[in-house]
Amino acid sequence: MEQQKKLEVLRHSAAHLLAHAVLELFPDTLLTIGPATEEGFFYDALLSRSLKEEDLPTIEKRMQELSLKNFPIEHRQISKQEAREIFKDNPFKLELIEGIPGETVGLSSQDGFRDLCRGGHEASTGDIKYFKLLGLSGSYWRANRENQPLQRIHGTAFFTSQDLVDFETRREEAQLYDHRRLGRQLEYFSFEEEAVGFPFFFPKGKAVLNVLVSYMRKLYAEYDYQEVETPMILSDELWKRSGHYAHYKDNMYFTTVDEQSYAIKPMNCPGSILIYKHRPRSYRELPLKLAEFGHVHRHELSGVLHGLLRVRAFTQDDAHIYCTVDQVEEEVRTILNIAFRMLHKCEFASVDLALATKPAKSMGSDELWDKATNSLKAVLEGYGKPYVLKEGEGAFYGPKIEIKIKDAMNREWQCGTVQIDFFQSDNFDLHYISTSGTRERPVIIHQALYGSLERFFAILLEHFKGNLPFWLAPVQIMVLTITDAQKQYAQEVYSALKKHGLRVNLDRSSDQISSKIKAAQLEKVPWMIVIGQKEVDAGTVSVRYADGKQMLGVALEKVLSMADELNR
């Protein structure tokens, strides 16, 4: 059995153990369901009193006792009639019994505890050794808000104590390095009641976003993209034509201008298309690559908002490439090159690719689909990296490549997409004049590599645990003096660094050098330049890195060239 399957069996058994313990401690509890999940298991129950966090250690302790008693876990099929008798006081289980097809249902038992279940367990409760209860939350019977509210107890279980320790460390880290917490601590961004779900970026947070934008601009320039800007507010008519009105209206914001209805753009594509359509285009202009750092607004329900990971307004590094079918392969190869350079720069070592192909309902001829899909396959195969084929999971208007990354805490994120589009070109009646003088439809490739700049920023913050690398840090260098006697020289060094275009600060306080260093560390500044009398006399500086390593007596020229190297 593969590891994940084995874990599932263990965690499913642990859920029974939890239910067993809860029932012993709170005998009038009505159990409902308790499945294994990706990170552990949970059990939903109706208790006569509401549980508190303080109850969890007690429940956990009872689970340990039941584990030590090493009760064999038995499972057998029984008739529905027998099951109805056993669970006659539990309306939830009775409802479940009726929902199971056939004449029999599964029953698992350990000591006196019995639960309705399909089976797949450890041999005995003693096999469930390394577990932990993680928390409480609310739920509803059958996940329906109209139904009975229930209490959910979350937990997890592993085969070794080391696995459990590792899990707890990762979980603590995830809380410690939560981007919302870091963003507040470091004064990068905030959320205010006056605009729920719309982030406020402070000077340092905005500096990071600007670095991401400049870096992408540099790549755009290298690969012949041209930057455009389209309006944020566009007539309803456009959104009706683009199909957003029919499919995306609930997520859009609207406004009225001169008694006409307008929408705040949720996507940048229609605006870009209007630029293409402005005048006739020749094959000589293709591929035409129009990029836009487009600020889009999308209405999300307040319950799903989550820091910068899920907001109601964000900036996409969006690009639309208008090209011929024959150019698709080359263009997609270029896009992946850009993506890999960017992800490498951001120190994401693990990148996974997936290709989503033609769904059952689609538009565009088979020939067009085959050609585009084969182009994407050729590019992916050219990379020599395995990719996942998601048959039938493409959009109805074309196949796409998804780029997934894994962060330092081993969590997976999908950021980049490369979407081929046969639909909007037809829909907006786009064309170009071919070499033989005929009017042809261009293909549109939608490209977004960071995806949302705000979300990418959040992922980076967590990935680097708040310690953004030199090229990305809002303050790259902090200049510190050992005593006030070096202030004049420090001012000169600071000015020179600033003039060189580096993001630098000078600590002008008269604090002890140790507290100045401490302050710079808390601010997570990657380099400190420490100036004492020795440095003043020699006309040099000392560099102290965030990890405590130092370079003593360095010429300022050398510091500038080291910085340039990292900023490149």
Among all residues, which ones are annotated catalytic?
A: 269, 298, 316, 318, 320, 400, 446
Q: Return the number of the residue (117 or 150) whose C-beta is nearest Zn ion.
A: 117
Asked if residue 287 has a cis previous peptide bond (ω within 30° of 0), the answer is: yes
At residue 280, φ and ψ (nearest 5 deg) are: -60, 145
- Closest to Zn ion by CB, 82 or 412: 82
Measured CA to CA, the distance from residue 117 to residue 17 in angstroms comes to: 13
**DSSP readout, 216-241?**
HHHHHHHTT-EE----SEEEHHHHHH
What is the size of the binding site for Zn ion (CB under 5 A)? 4
> What is the C-alpha separation between 124 and 368, in angstroms, rounded?
58
User: What's the closest the beta carbon of residue 519 comes to Zn ion, in angstroms?
Assistant: 44
CA distance 302 to 307: 11
- Shortest CB 273 distance to Zn ion, Å: 9
Part of the chain binding Zn ion (CB under 5 A), chosen from 103-111, 215-223, 455-463, 484-492: 103-111
Q: Contact at 8 Å (CB) between 482 and 541?
A: no
Residue choice 129, 446, 503, 544 for contact with Zn ion (CB under 5 A): 446
- Residue 114 has phi, psi (to 5 degrees) of -130, 140
343 contacts Zn ion (rule: CB under 5 A): no
Shortest Å distance, C-beta 407 to Zn ion: 26
Q: Which stretch binds Zn ion (CB under 5 A): 174-182, 263-271, 353-361, 512-520?
A: 263-271
Touching Zn ion, residues 105-144 (CB under 5 A): 108, 117
**From the CB of 125, what's the least distance to Zn ion, in Å?**
12
Measured from the Cβ of residue 65, the count of other Cβ atoms closer than 10 Å reads 12
Q: What does the alpha-carbon distance between residue 490 and residue 487 come to, in Å, rounded to a whole number?
A: 5
Nearer to Zn ion, 12 or 204 (CB): 12
CB of residue 117 to Zn ion, shortest distance in Å: 3
| Biggest CA-to-CA distance, the chain | 94
Site mask, Zn ion, residues 504-543, x = CB under 5 A? ----------------------------------------
How far apart CA 460 and CA 468 sit, in angstroms, is 8
- For Zn ion, give the closer residue by CB, 416 or 466: 416
Task: Let me know: does 424 contact 396? Beta carbons within 8 Å.
Answer: no
CB of residue 121 to Zn ion, shortest distance in Å: 5
* CB of 277 or CB of 518, closer to Zn ion: 277
Does 395 help bind Zn ion (rule: CB under 5 A)? no
CB of 507 to Zn ion, least distance (A): 46
> Distance between the two ends of the chain, CA-based, in angstroms?
48
- Shortest separation between residue 34's beta carbon and Zn ion, angstroms: 8
Span near Zn ion by CB under 5 A; candidates 32-40, 104-112, 125-133, 396-404: 104-112
Of 124-132, 194-202, 441-449, 469-477: span binding Zn ion (CB under 5 A)? 441-449
Q: What is the residue-wise DSSP string for 37-101?
A: -SS-EEEEEE-SS---TTHHHHHHHHHHHHHHTTPBPEEEEEEHHHHHHHTTT-HHHHHHHHHS-
- Residue with smaller CB distance to Zn ion, 117 or 395: 117
Residues 450 and 307: beta-carbon distance below 8 Å: no
Q: Does 269 bind Zn ion (CB under 5 A)?
A: yes
On whether the CB atoms of residues 339 and 402 are closer than 8 A, the answer is: no
Window contacting Zn ion (CB under 5 A); options: 443-451, 477-485, 512-520, 522-530: 443-451
Residue closest to Zn ion, measured at CB: 117
- What CA–CA distance (Å, rounded) separates 167 from 281? 57
Question: With respect to Zn ion, which residue has the nearer C-beta, 108 or 334?
Answer: 108
| Interface region with Zn ion, contact rule CB under 5 A, candidates 403-411, 438-446, 474-482, 547-555 | 438-446
Of the pair 108, 542, the CB lying nearest Zn ion is at 108
DSSP string across 428-491: TT--EE-TTS-EEPPEEEEEEEEEEHHHHHHHHHHHTTT---TTT-SS-EEEEESSGGGHHHHH
Closer to Zn ion by Cβ: residue 44 or 55: 44
164: left (phi over 0), alpha (psi -120 to 50) or beta: alpha
In the numeric block, the tokens 């966090």 are attached to 53
Strand order in the sheet with 288-297: 226-227, 288-297, 313-323, 443-452, 412-421, 400-406, 350-356, 387-390
Least gap, CB of 269 to Zn ion (angstroms): 3
Residues forming contacts to Zn ion in the complex (CB under 5 A) are 108, 117, 269, 446
